[in-house]
Protein backbone atom coordinates (compact mmCIF):
# COMPACT_ATOMS: atom_id res chain seq x y z
CA UNK A 1 0.00 0.00 0.00
CA UNK A 2 0.94 3.66 -0.05
CA UNK A 3 3.55 4.76 2.43
CA UNK A 4 4.86 8.11 3.53
CA UNK A 5 8.41 8.32 4.80
CA UNK A 6 8.63 11.13 7.32
CA UNK A 7 11.89 12.44 8.73
CA UNK A 8 13.40 13.13 11.08
CA UNK A 9 11.76 10.86 13.62
CA UNK A 10 12.50 13.33 16.40
CA UNK A 11 14.22 16.63 17.00
CA UNK A 12 15.47 18.34 20.15
CA UNK A 13 16.29 21.95 19.39
CA UNK A 14 17.07 25.20 21.12
CA UNK A 15 14.33 27.80 21.37
CA UNK A 16 14.68 30.29 18.53
CA UNK A 17 16.12 27.79 16.06
CA UNK A 18 14.46 26.97 12.77
CA UNK A 19 13.04 23.50 12.16
CA UNK A 20 12.65 21.52 8.98
CA UNK A 21 10.94 18.19 8.41
CA UNK A 22 9.84 16.40 5.29
CA UNK A 23 7.85 13.56 3.83
CA UNK A 24 8.49 11.53 0.72
CA UNK A 25 6.59 8.82 -1.04
CA UNK A 26 6.71 6.64 -4.10
CA UNK A 27 3.04 7.47 -4.68
CA UNK A 28 1.58 10.61 -6.19
CA UNK A 29 -0.85 12.54 -3.98
CA UNK A 30 -3.33 15.22 -4.99
CA UNK A 31 -3.22 16.93 -1.58
CA UNK A 32 -0.64 17.20 1.18
CA UNK A 33 -1.62 18.13 4.71
CA UNK A 34 0.43 18.92 7.80
CA UNK A 35 -1.02 18.34 11.27
CA UNK A 36 0.25 18.90 14.81
CA UNK A 37 -0.81 16.67 17.68
CA UNK A 38 -0.40 17.55 21.34
CA UNK A 39 -0.41 14.76 23.95
CA UNK A 40 -3.88 13.35 24.59
CA UNK A 41 -5.51 15.40 21.85
CA UNK A 42 -6.47 15.00 18.23
CA UNK A 43 -4.37 16.34 15.33
CA UNK A 44 -4.89 19.98 14.39
CA UNK A 45 -4.59 21.04 10.77
CA UNK A 46 -1.67 23.42 10.17
CA UNK A 47 -1.39 23.72 6.42
CA UNK A 48 -3.15 22.21 3.40
CA UNK A 49 -1.43 22.07 0.00
CA UNK A 50 -3.39 21.40 -3.18
CA UNK A 51 -1.16 22.24 -6.16
CA UNK A 52 2.21 20.85 -7.15
CA UNK A 53 4.89 23.40 -6.35
CA UNK A 54 2.59 25.33 -4.02
CA UNK A 55 4.33 27.17 -1.19
CA UNK A 56 2.07 28.19 1.68
CA UNK A 57 2.70 29.97 4.97
CA UNK A 58 0.77 30.05 8.21
CA UNK A 59 2.49 32.40 10.62
CA UNK A 60 5.92 30.96 11.36
CA UNK A 61 5.11 27.80 9.44
CA UNK A 62 5.88 27.30 5.76
CA UNK A 63 5.13 24.20 3.73
CA UNK A 64 5.64 23.26 0.12
CA UNK A 65 4.05 20.66 -2.12
CA UNK A 66 6.75 19.04 -4.26
CA UNK A 67 6.67 19.41 -8.02
CA UNK A 68 6.49 15.65 -8.50
CA UNK A 69 3.56 15.41 -6.03
CA UNK A 70 5.55 12.82 -4.12
CA UNK A 71 7.00 14.95 -1.35
CA UNK A 72 6.47 17.90 0.95
CA UNK A 73 8.38 19.79 3.61
CA UNK A 74 7.38 21.83 6.63
CA UNK A 75 9.55 24.57 8.10
CA UNK A 76 9.04 26.27 11.44
CA UNK A 77 10.97 29.47 11.96
CA UNK A 78 12.14 30.82 15.31
CA UNK A 79 10.77 27.94 17.37
CA UNK A 80 9.09 28.59 20.71
CA UNK A 81 8.25 26.20 23.57
CA UNK A 82 4.62 25.78 22.47
CA UNK A 83 5.82 24.29 19.18
CA UNK A 84 6.47 21.08 21.12
CA UNK A 85 4.39 18.18 19.86
CA UNK A 86 4.17 15.58 17.13
CA UNK A 87 3.94 16.75 13.54
CA UNK A 88 2.34 14.50 10.95
CA UNK A 89 2.32 14.79 7.21
CA UNK A 90 -0.61 13.23 5.40
CA UNK A 91 -1.19 12.63 1.73
CA UNK A 92 -4.59 12.42 0.18
CA UNK A 93 -5.26 10.27 -2.87
CA UNK A 94 -8.01 10.81 -5.41
CA UNK A 95 -8.62 7.10 -5.61
CA UNK A 96 -10.15 5.15 -2.74
CA UNK A 97 -12.41 7.92 -1.53
CA UNK A 98 -9.68 10.48 -0.81
CA UNK A 99 -8.47 8.70 2.30
CA UNK A 100 -5.46 10.05 4.13
CA UNK A 101 -2.14 8.25 4.35
CA UNK A 102 -0.14 9.41 7.37
CA UNK A 103 3.56 9.65 7.97
CA UNK A 104 5.00 8.19 11.17
CA UNK A 105 5.34 11.62 12.73
CA UNK A 106 8.17 13.90 13.87
CA UNK A 107 8.47 14.49 17.60
CA UNK A 108 9.61 18.03 18.29
CA UNK A 109 11.09 19.05 21.62
CA UNK A 110 12.21 22.61 22.27
CA UNK A 111 14.78 23.54 24.88
CA UNK A 112 14.23 26.98 26.35
Partner 1 sequence: GAVVSQHPSRVICKSGTSVKIECRSLDFQATTMFWYRQFPKQSLMLMATSNEGSKATYEQGVEKDKFLINHASLTLSTLTVTSAHPEDSSFYICSARRAIDRPQHFGDGTRLSIL
Binding of partner 1 at residue 84 (CB under 8 A)? no
Stretches 14-22, 43-51, 54-62, 63-71: which one binds partner 1 (CB under 8 A)? 43-51
What is the 3 state secondary structure string of the chain?
CCCCEEECCEEEEECCCCEEEEEECCCCCCEEEEEEECCCCCCEEEEEECCCCCEEEECCEEEEECCCCCEEEEEECCCCHHHCEEEEEEEECCHHHCCEEECCCEEEEEEC
| 49-68 footprint of partner 1 as x/- string (CB under 8 A) | -x------------------
Interface pick for partner 1 out of 22, 25, 31, 79 (rule CB under 8 A) = 31
Shortest distance in whole angstroms from residue 98 CB to partner 1: 5
Amino acid sequence: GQQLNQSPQSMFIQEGEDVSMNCTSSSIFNTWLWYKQDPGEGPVLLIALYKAGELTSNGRLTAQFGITRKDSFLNISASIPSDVGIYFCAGQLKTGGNKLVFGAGTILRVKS
